[in-house]
Amino acid sequence: MAERGQLPPPAKRLCCRPGYGPGCRPGQRAGGGGGPGGGALCAGPSSAAAAAFSSSSSAAAALGLLPLGKTQSPESLLDIAARRVAEKWPFQRVEERFERIPEPVQRRIVYWSFPRSEREICMYSSFNTGADDPAAAAAAVSVSSSAVSAAGGAGTAPGGAAEAAADESRLPFRRGIALLDGGCVDNVLQVGFHLSGTVTEPAMQSEPETVCNVAISFDRCKITSVTCSCGNKDIFYCAHVVALSLYRIRKPDQVKLHLPISETLFQMNRDQLQKFVQYLITVHHTEVLPTAQKLADEILSQNSEINQVHGAPDPTAGASIDDENCWHLDEEQVQEQVKIFLSQGGYHGSGKQLNLLFAKVREMLKMRDSNGARMLTLITEQFMADPRLALWRQQGTAMTDKYRQLWDELGALWMCIVLNPHCKLEQKASWLKQLKKWNSVDVCPWEDGNHGNELPNLTNALPQGANANQDSSNRPHRTVFTRAIEACDLHWQDSHLQHIISSDLYTNYCYHDDTENSLFDSHGWPLWHEHVPTACARVDALRSHGYPREALRLAIAIVNTLRRQQQKQLEMFRAQKKELLHKGVTSITNLEGWVGHPLDPIGTLFSSLMEACRVDDESFHGFSDFMENMGQCKSLEYQHLPAHKFLEEGESYLTLAVEVALIGLGQQRIMPDGLYAQEKVCRNEEQLISKLQEIELDDTLVKIFRKQAVFLLEAGPYSGLGEVIHRESVPMHTFAKYLFTSLLPHDAELAYKTALRAMRLLVLESTAPSGDMSRPHHIASVVPNRYPRWFTLSHIESQQCELASTMLTAAKGDVRRLETVLESIQKNIHSSSHIFKLAQDAFKIATLMDSLPDITLLKVSLELGLQVMRMTLSTLNWRRREMVRWLVTCATEVGVYALDSIMQNWFTLFTPTEATSIVATTVMSNSTIVRLHLDCHQQEKLAGSARTLALQCAMKDPQNCALSALTLCEKDHIAFETAYQIVLDAATTGMSYSQLFTIARYMEHRGYPMRAYKLATLAMTHLNLSYNQDTHPAINDVLWACALSHSLGKNELAAIIPLVVKSVKCATVLSDILRRCTLTTPGMVGLHGRRNSGKLMSLDKAPLRQLLDATIGAYINTTHSRLTHISPRHYSEFIEFLSKARETFLMAHDGHIQFTQFIDNLKQIYKGKKKLMMLVRERFG
């Protein structure tokens, strides 16, 4: 609450003396305005007053509570009656009903009118995780008031209640208790229905001691307004208000109690009244003197407004008849805080804070506090005003997942509110009007979180639903409010429903109607046939509004109905089984799946039943003492509590909760449209399974698992694990994994049967059966108008993989089961990456360090790896090399025969490059030989297979495999010669100069210079270097080839120079080769290392003359090409180029003359380039 340092608002109810004004009889008040506060009329004593309260004595028997005082003696009738009146009657009604009220009676009514429970004080002074778990309340944190300042609020310092990261001691409620226990509460005074006092904040390190003035108004055991001078701005009460309230609750006899101030004033004569007023003005003259003078002027004026009204306001009097009796809620602060949290967009924990606000609404509803609906209305208005809604709709983008979940909770809360079994019709009409208003706004979010769907109005598919709300059903999309709007048409007047929720003894053992919608089952126990999500919404509403026993009764009836329907469905399918299986088609039996449904029906039933397992009987009937539970955070243990009347022998709430969860999870349902709806299906399924995993299975629960697993396997289209399912039904992988792990220790055969049935993923299978377009009895077919977009397919496939991995792990050592699981994986998993993961998992399990390798599991791993190789052979996969290396490792672990097998069948598994560069190379490595402990014969056999593979790969892809083949065949002369011949054969057609140069260099390195020379000449025929490619990567290869030829002898050099002249047009490369050839004599280092004696080759004779002419010609051509597009910034570079050209020209015997003529020609041809030609003349004359 925002406790501002200000005076309380002026009271509206007016008090007057007996006989004042023409309309007032003695003992009656004039006026009757609504509002907290007012006055009480002083009346004379009456001996009959106590008897007047005897009409309320029936309440005494119902309460049976001792007074909060010290006495242990029986309560007086006066206290019993006064307490009941104080709870239910506004004080004005008391005054109007009884002409004279004795002062002792008034005092007891005033005394009992203050709240007596600390639970409500805590609820309004701190966040709670929900009323279901009081022990967690102390761990929650209230909203940070600093957020208000950050958004332009009052800027006051945040109170202790508003530290977002505070621990339990920083909660306002806890701080209030600390202040009370520390003796910080003083000057406590109760005047009528008004409590005041001072609370001293002890001095802190950085702050001095402060005294806060606190004022509280109350009515009918509820605090109706609070003010505090601390200036704290927050949604809830500050610690000072808490301290004063708890002081009054815990120490009522130490509070000085007076009747309303108007009663005291009525007892004064004129002189006393004048003295009272003058003293009051004197004490507070600076604050009240202007107001006092203004009021005096108005009273003395005959025509003033104040003189037209009988009586005067009294802020200490009780409530008027028309006043709404509710706890004080600062609506402005609620709206401001929600607005700030929404503006933070999910950052700084705002999503968590909004969820805590929703939890506070649920807590209020459970306490049957009318502020729950008020607070939710305020929150909803801020959500609807969020500017991001219009932006997202305009841009066509989806809201964030967390924000979407907040909207879901908003819709669910409104569903609970409109289904309040005891709300008034006018209140429901008001809510319906507001919901329709929000529903009609364009930016109102759609129920499925995406683009809306056009599902039929299933909420009203129930006995009461004839008058379904047409306005909402005609809308093109269902919004988050649609279900709440539809729920406004529901009522609780059905006599069968009333009997179910109100009695544990409602049975009919003579009922023999065995039809589908019979009211009782064969045991005579009541059933409730209604659209399941709607029926469960009733359960949620009962729980939310503080009717746990009634909710439990209805939940049991619903679960018994579902179990009966299960049995009927099984019998029906068995009758139709042959026909359906012969056709090979099936239908979806439910358009709306229960898991992932907006109303979360299965989660509601499960929570209701589990709550009954952990709550003692006393607290389940009502609310246990709140303070006993504060701070006692215990780990919950679920127990088989004594059986309910409508449960089978040996069953309990726990078994019923588990069974209904299994029923919901196993239901066959269609995959909904839209990303959010599909993610919600996955998320809710995982949440429900997570809750199930907290329960320790005993023999009773194992029987339930067996029963449901058998049903799911045999129930046909009613089960997601039926023999034939619709291709678009939600997969069962996650659920089946949980069933498998739960059943495995108790019934392995059933566990494997269930898991293997769930492995299928029909939506990825081209031959999957199509949906049955007929409408057999009891089955609602779904006719999809398009192929669904499964946005969560990657997640679903990963869950399928997890299920398979779980089975592989469990089947270790069991050959038969491993073969079955392998077959299922190969049939049902369509993703190579997931199969590869399974192969890796199987390999790890099979080769655990603490045991010998499991050869069967290793073979499964290898088989899966081979399947991955085949699947990815012709497709691009960035993990392919990793997969190939892993497969060789796996085959090595299996044994030499596995390696030999993959090399024999390499063409179905690997590309030629992979087979030679990875497979064969690894197989022939020393590490592999050592790992396999091979003898010489085995080594040679394996090497022979590797060489055969290499030659086959070289034939298939010589460009990429020839070098690897040569390397692998080095130690076998015949194989090596064969590989070399393959290279020669491919050199003329299929190989590039770079590949040939690489192999040629390899040959030289291995001591085959003539073969290297042969390959180099073949490479030269494929090469073409133009005049401007002076940085081409092949230049080094050309220089190497020429050097190799020069070293072999004159003949070899003479043979390669024509090839060089033909292939290379780059002048600088040619001049480099020319210089290298003139430095040493050809063949100076022979084949066997002997130095040759000979002369340097002449530039005037072949073959160097041909090379010199080609070099000079290349310089001339390059010069003209460069001058065509030369720019001034390249002039200096061009001059240097001409200098190099001159060096080459001068190598010829008439080179000087040729170069001079060349320069003269340039001057003549390019005389227009004056600056350049001037530079040429300066350098070359």
The pLDDT of residue 113: 87
User: Which of the four pLDDT bands, split at 50, 70 and 90, describes residue 624?
Assistant: very low
Asked which of 26-35, 381-390, 849-858 is least confident by mean pLDDT, the reply is 26-35
Dihedral angle at the C-alpha atoms of 749, 754, 757, 758, nearest 10 degrees?
A: -140
pLDDT at 640: 62
Out of 20-29, 97-106, 107-116, 471-480, pick the least confident.
20-29
Residue 121: the pLDDT is 87
b/e per residue, 194-214, with b = 16+ CB within 10 A? bbbbbbbbeeeeeeeeeebeb
Using one digit for the tens of pLDDT, what is the confidence trace for 143-170? Answer: 333 333 333 333 333 333 334 434 566 7
**Amino acid in position 658:** V
pLDDT band at 291 (very low <50, low <70, confident <90, very high): confident
Kindly tell me if the per-residue pLDDT of 222 is higher than 80: yes
Confidence class of residue 581 from pLDDT cuts 50, 70 and 90?
low
Residue 348: predicted pLDDT = 63
Taking alpha carbons only, the member of 296, 375, 367, 390 closest to residue 335 is 375
pLDDT of residue 43: 32
User: Long-range contacts: 388-393, Cβ < 8 Å, 24+?
Assistant: 388/342, 388/345, 389/443, 389/444, 389/445, 390/443, 393/442, 393/443
How confident is residue 815, by pLDDT bands cut at 50, 70 and 90? very high
The contacts of residue 183 (CB under 8 Å, 6+ apart) are none
pLDDT recorded at residue 637: 54
Among 19-33, 84-98, 198-212, the least confident range: 19-33
Percent of the chain having pLDDT more than 90?
35
Q: Taking residues 1142-1162, what's their average pLDDT?
A: 87
d(CA 38, CA 55): 26
Model pLDDT for residues 1076-1132, shown as the tens digit of each residue: 888 777 765 443 444 444 567 777 777 788 888 899 899 889 889 888 888 888 888
pLDDT of 530 above 60: yes
Q: What angle do CA 545, 607, 132 make, to 5 degrees?
A: 50
Q: Span 11-18, mean pLDDT?
A: 54
Q: Give the amino acid at 709.
A: A
Predicted pLDDT at 259:
85
User: Is pLDDT above 60 for 103?
Assistant: yes
- Whose tokens are 């090379």? That residue is 1107
The secondary structure of 148-177, three-state, reads HHHCCCCCCCCCHHHCCCCCHHHCHHHHHH
pLDDT of residue 601: 94
Residue 990 pLDDT class (50, 70, 90 cuts): confident
Q: Tokens for 1176, please give them.
A: 């040429």
CA atoms within 13 A on the CB side of 558: 31
Least confident range of 456-465, 677-686, 821-830: 456-465
Note the pLDDT tens digit of each residue in 752-788: 999 999 999 988 886 444 443 333 333 333 333 334 5
pLDDT-derived band of residue 88, with 50, 70 and 90 as boundaries? confident
Q: For the chain, count helices (H), then strands (E).
A: 52, 7
Closest CA to 446 of 489, 482, 403: 482
pLDDT confidence tier of residue 584, bands split at 50, 70 and 90: low
Please determine, for residue 450, whether its predicted confidence score (pLDDT) is greater than 70.
no
Averaged pLDDT of the chain = 80
Residue 465 predicted with pLDDT over 80: no
**What is the mean predicted confidence (pLDDT) over 315-334?**
82
Mean pLDDT, residues 788-815 = 91
* Confidence band of 478 (pLDDT split at 50, 70, 90): confident
pLDDT digit string, tens, across residues 1155-1175: 888 888 888 888 888 888 888
Do 1166 and 1180 touch, CB atoms closer than 8 A? no
Instruction: Establish whether the linkage from the previous residue to 1103 is cis, with ω within 30° of 0.
Output: yes
pLDDT band at 28 (very low <50, low <70, confident <90, very high): very low
Residues near 930 by beta carbon (within 8 Å), at least 6 away in sequence: none
Query: Is residue 427's pLDDT more than 60?
Result: yes
pLDDT higher than threshold 50 for residue 48: no
pTM exceeding the 0.75 threshold for the entire prediction = yes
- Better-predicted residue by pLDDT, 778 or 349: 349
Residue 513, pLDDT above cutoff 70: no
Angle (CA) 387 388 393, round 5° = 110
* Percent of the chain with pLDDT strictly greater than 70: 81
Return d(Cα 964, Cα 315) in angstroms, integer: 101
Identify the pLDDT of residue 818: 94
Mean pLDDT within 739-758 = 96
Q: Which two tokens stand for residue 89?
A: 């009657």
Tokens of 971: 């130690």
Instruction: Give the pLDDT band of residue 390 (cuts 50, 70, 90).
Output: confident
Band of the pLDDT at 353, cuts 50, 70, 90? confident
